[in-house]
Amino acid sequence: MAREPGDRRERILASAAALFARKGVSATTVREIADEAGILSGSLYHHFESKEAMVDEIVTSYLEDLRTRYKRVLDGDSHPRTRLHDLIVASLEVVEAHPHATEIYQNDVNYLTQIERFGYLRTAGKEVQQTWLSVIEAGIAEGVIRDDLDPKILYRLMRDAVWLSVRWFKPTAAYPITRLAEDCTSLFLDGLAKTR
């Protein structure tokens, strides 16, 4: 299959994402990105307006995918336990589909939100929180989830545990992403105590 136009651009963006993820956005230079792409830094500006524009594209398509998948979860099975599990699965699938973007977001969100251009990250964060909260609160209302813990606290603890897996999780045949999702769900819902 022949390469479409835009393929080259996509590959530049992909290797830029890898660099941003590994070193951080601020510490990655346009010269390094160009090196990785096998061109000179000036040539990058034929494809992209700026370094910020590259980050923007990477993060935007990441958030778009995330939004789509979360919406699909809310349209699916409505049992709280299933729904929480589906949210975890969706998140881990986004991690798998956009590992570099996930890492950029997790590492550099503080830095990025200070740049006007990336103000939309705050909104996105609130949307994600709202999705989780609606699931947790429905679970409490239905009597499936404990009511003695603050839903917002629960959300943040679970969110960080799940998303930060981008830093360490490498799926294997013996321990695939589906297994990690099940273990997360079971840890959060059932806990790791053998007896109570």
Partner DNA sequence: GTCTATATAAGGATAGAC
Partner DNA sequence: GTCTATCCTTATATAGAC
Binding track over 132-171 against its own copies, x by CB under 8 A: -----------xxxxx-xx--xx-xxx-xx--xx-xx---
Dist CA 93 CA 71 (whole Å): 14
Residues 6+ apart with CB under 8 A from 68: none
- Asked if residue 175 binds its own copies (CB under 8 A), the reply is yes
Residues 6+ apart with CB under 8 A from 191: none
Show the tokens assigned to 48.
């992209």
CB of 11 within 8 A of CB of 37? Answer: yes
From DNA, its own copies, none, which one binds at residue 8 (CB under 5 to 8 Å depending on kind)?
DNA
- Asked if residue 130 binds its own copies (CB under 8 A), the reply is no
* Number of neighbouring beta carbons within 10 Å of residue 40: 11
Q: Which of 2, 4, 46, 114 binds its own copies (CB under 8 A)?
A: 114
Which parts of this chain interact with DNA (CB under 7 A)?
A: 5, 8, 28-31, 34, 38-43, 45-47, 49-52
Minimal distance, residue 192 CB to its own copies, in Å: 5
- Asked if residue 181 binds its own copies (CB under 8 A), the reply is no
- Helical ranges in 24-119 per DSSP H: 30-37, 41-47, 51-74, 80-97, 99-113
Interface contacts to its own copies, rule CB under 8 A: 21-24, 26-27, 81, 103, 107-108, 110-111, 114, 143-147, 149-150, 153-154, 156-158, 160-161, 164-165, 167-168, 175, 180, 183-184, 186-196
